[in-house]
Every structure is written in structure tokens, then in C-alpha cells.
Amino acid sequence: MRYRKPKNYKDKIAECYGDVVIEAPENQKGFWKICFGNDNPIYIEIGMGKGNFLIEHALKNPHINYVGVEKIEPLLLGTSKKIQDLELENVKLIGANANFIEDYFEESEISRIYLNFSDPWPKKRNANRRLTHHNMLKRYQSILKEDSYIEFKTDNRSLFEFSVCEISMMGFLIEEINIDLHNQDMDHKDERLISTEYESKFVKMGRSIYRVKAKIDKYSNYNYNSGSE
């Protein structure tokens, strides 16, 4: 999807850097502890979009620090304004590409990664660009703590099936699979139902939402003999 860039958006983005939008750190030891001013667990959302999912989680869990990673810079503007208006102290944003995620976080620093409605890159030749490709999973494995989690949601059945295979091949333990998340008997306060802006739209359209939650094994390796492209 294309995003309309606000007039003079580069100047506006430069102005919003500070307390909420942080210059992406590169291999700075202890950066996030200093940034948040505490040792609380850090959860990150890669591709945060307009930030609805991230903000709702942060409101419900003040004891957890959240970092939104988004490569589309104009999206930082609206999300940072929402965070400032709500006076949330446990959310930071960085304008960054997931391909360099290991530069922004230390080894075993992160407690959870959310991947929500990532670009499916449907053509087979582009499989290695998917955020659940095993090359990306290895990057996440590096920054995640032992026994921490990746949570992935999509409305794309092919991407869902691909992701389940890649996660399994990595040796991670899949603890939950939902193939129609919003049509299950759940309490409406269940955090699994916290939605992104895309998700809310797709649910209204009657589309199934697929979800996977997997526990990380820090020492597992991708099974190349039976793996995908």
C-alpha cells in the first residue's frame, strides 16, 4: 500500500525526533536500558504501521517497554503524536529496516517480537524478503532471549503456511496456532485480540486472521535438508 507523504514531511520527522522517536542506535551497549530508564522487558513490533497495536499493548502493560520498528518514515509522525498525547513513557519508535535489526538491539536483549500483517511477497523468487524467512528468523534468534516468543499474524493463507514451515524448520516450538482468530470463543479483553489497523479492516470484511506463537530456541539451526527456498 502507498502512503501519502505529508508536505515537508522530512522536516516534520526531523522535528519529532527526541523523547519518542529515537535515532536508531547502532551497537550501543546498554542503549535501551538508558533510554527507558529501567530494566523492564522489551517487546518490539517490526512494521508497526500506524501504531494502534503497539499503543494498546503499551497502555495495558506499563511494566513492559515497547519499541516500534518502521521503515516507512511518514508513519512515525502520526504514531509519535498519539504516544505523546497519551503521555506513554514505555514506548519508543525507530525508523529502521528489519534487515539490520541486529544493529539496533543487543544479543538476547528482547523478550518478544511481533510481526503483524507483513508484506507477503507472493512471488517465489522474493521469498527471502518475507519477514518470516529463515534468514530473518536467524536475526531474531540472535536478539531474543532464550524461551522468549515470536508472535505472527496475517490474513494471507500462503504466507501463514510458509511461516509455519520456516518457524518449524528453525526448531522453534509452536505453542499456539489460530486459523480464524476472531471467530473463537475468547474473552473480548484477551490480548490476542488486540488489532492492527489492517486487522480491524480485514475482520470487518469477514476475512480469516491467522496467528502463530512460537517459543525461541537460541541454539537451534535451520534444517537446510528439508527446508524451503
Q: Is residue 83 classed as helix, strand or coil in its secondary structure? A: helix
Q: Can you tell me the distance from the alpha carbon of 9 to that of 215, in angstroms, rounded to the nearest whole number?
A: 39
With beta carbons less than 8 A apart as the criterion, state whether 65 and 32 touch: yes
Query: Is the residue at 124 inside a domain?
Result: yes
Query: Is the residue at 203 inside a domain?
Result: yes
Please tell me the predicted confidence (pLDDT) of residue 188.
84
Q: Which residues contact 133 (CB under 8 A, 6 or more apart)?
A: 127, 166
Query: Is the residue at 16 inside a domain?
Result: no
Q: Can you tell me the distance from the alpha carbon of 95 to that of 68, in angstroms, rounded to the nearest whole number?
A: 8
Where residue 62 sits, what CATH number does that domain have?
A: 3.40.50.150
Q: Number of folded domains in the chain?
A: 1
Please tell me the predicted confidence (pLDDT) of residue 229.
47
Query: Is the residue at 226 inside a domain?
Result: no
Verdict on whether the full-model pTM lies above 0.75: yes
Please tell me the predicted confidence (pLDDT) of residue 3.
54
Query: Is the residue at 2 inside a domain?
Result: no
Angle, CA of 162, 168 and 171, to the nearest 5°: 145
Query: Is the residue at 229 inside a domain?
Result: no
119 is a catalytic site residue: yes
Cell of residue 216, nine digits: 525461541
Which three-class secondary structure string do you get for 20-71?
CECCCCCCCCCHHHHHHCCCCCEEEEECCCCCHHHHHHHHHCCCCEEEEEEC
Q: Roughly what angle, to the nearest 10 degrees, separates helices 197-204 and 52-60?
A: 110
173's enclosing H/E stretch is strand 173-178
In degrees and rounded to multiples of 5, residue 85 shows phi and psi of: -65, -35
Please tell me the predicted confidence (pLDDT) of residue 193.
92
Query: Is the residue at 50 inside a domain?
Result: yes
Please tell me the predicted confidence (pLDDT) of residue 23.
84
Return the half-sphere exposure (C-beta side, CA atoms, 13 A cut-off) of residue 26.
4
In degrees and rounded to multiples of 5, residue 21 shows phi and psi of: -90, 120
User: Longest C-alpha distance within the chain, in Å?
Assistant: 51
Please tell me the predicted confidence (pLDDT) of residue 184.
87
Q: Can you tell me the distance from the alpha carbon of 117 to that of 120, in angstroms, rounded to the nearest whole number?
A: 8
The residue range of the domain holding 192 is: 26-215
Query: Is the residue at 176 inside a domain?
Result: yes
Encode the chain (229 residues) as per-residue pLDDT tens digits.
Answer: 455 655 666 666 666 667 888 888 887 889 999 999 999 999 999 999 999 999 999 999 999 999 999 988 888 888 998 999 999 999 999 999 999 999 999 999 999 999 999 999 999 999 999 999 999 999 999 999 999 999 999 999 999 999 999 999 999 999 999 999 999 888 888 998 999 999 999 999 999 999 999 999 988 887 655 444 4
Could you say which of 19, 119, 180, 190 is catalytic? 119
